[in-house]
Amino acid sequence: MPERSLILAGVDEAGYGPLLGPLCVGMSVFEVPHAAPEAPPPCLWKLLSRAVSKEAGRGGKTDAKGRIPVADSKQLKLASSVTTTHPLVHLERAVLAMARCAACGNEALVPGSDTSLLGALGASWPDEPWYGIEETPLPVAHDAAQLAITCNGLAHALRNAGVRVHALRCRVVGETEFNALANAGGKAATTAAALREFLTLLWEEHARPDGSGAGRLGIVCDRQGGRVCYGDFLGSALPGAAVTVLEESDLRSRYVIEGVGADGAPRRAGVSFLVEGERHHLPVALASMIAKYTRELAMMRFNRAWCGLARERANVEIKPTAGYSTDAGRWLRDADAFLTAEERRRLVRVL
């Protein structure tokens, strides 16, 4: 770790609102050089500006400088109606390039399938049988050789900026778990469960302060809904830690957490919840892309499984679904020909 450095983590979700498919919560963790403890955190878009941009090129391409777009996943996932390129081209470029850089040149850790990607993200497929079918080879939207060139450019920019991709993570919450969490604690409990896991991991691995400022930890989460106060949640997620409120406003909620880890050593972290956090912090934008890309890969499995069962059971073709409300309703109506009552109960998420 550099003499002075800062750990920056971002958390965001994809799939909170759909009727079908999993909820995915992503996290990215970076180590960046940091001049002084009192200075504001550096902007990763600026540090990595030779390889990364906020804007995508047209038609699924990089921008004019060949840079990787890292931004809100909702802006970067192309419409399924686009026929000139794969809808996941932007999401895949960033996620797989960052995953390769996180592997630090270890080819055995470079994801070659959706299952190996989940392993690299510390995740696994849900227990529902429609996710247990054959794996999807990766990449799905790129030529592997061209993607490797993109990865090399990103790795070079990271080295020049003194930035390290510490970790990429994702939590995949299947329909059964989602409904159990929502029924027990409300819908917000579904994302809270994943966030608790990430906070614990960051607290234990990265929240150790020292006199030089090395190892300081800043966590930024995208804020969903109208919730403003998170102090009680943070206190329950990290029992025994002291939570100090710095700000709770319509746009942001900021806290400092101090305590000790499982090893008895001191810990300290800053945590912020921001409206549209993916617009302001690259780690949050990348977390959004990780979550969205993982959910899209999950829906590929979902659709392959159920399209196969539709042909097998009723000799009918069923149009794939992205799982969102209107189209999910259409899919469920089309699935009446082969879906059992028990399968429908397990498939549909509570609203």
Hey, what amino acid is at 56?
A
Beta bridge mates, 29: 9, 167
Q: What confidence score (pLDDT) does residue 14 get?
A: 96
What angle, 0 to 180 degrees and rounded to 10, lies between the N-to-C axes of helices 188-206 and 175-185?
100
What pLDDT sits at residue 35?
61
Q: Tell me which of 88-97, 138-147, 298-307, 317-326 is least confident.
A: 138-147
Nearest of 260, 263, 235, 230 to residue 247 by alpha carbon: 230
Tens digits of residue pLDDT in 55-105: 888 877 778 888 999 999 988 888 776 667 889 999 999 999 999 999 875
**pTM of the full structure:** 0.94
Q: CB-based contacts of 351: which residues, under 8 Å, 6+ apart?
A: 19, 187
Domains defined along the chain, listed by start? 5-299 (3.30.420.10), 302-347 (no CATH)
Cα atoms in the 13 Å half-sphere on the side-chain side of 216: 23
Extract the runs of DSSP E, i.e. beta strands, from 71-209.
Answer: 164-173
Indicate the pLDDT class of residue 109, thresholds 50, 70 and 90: low
- Residue 104, pLDDT score: 74
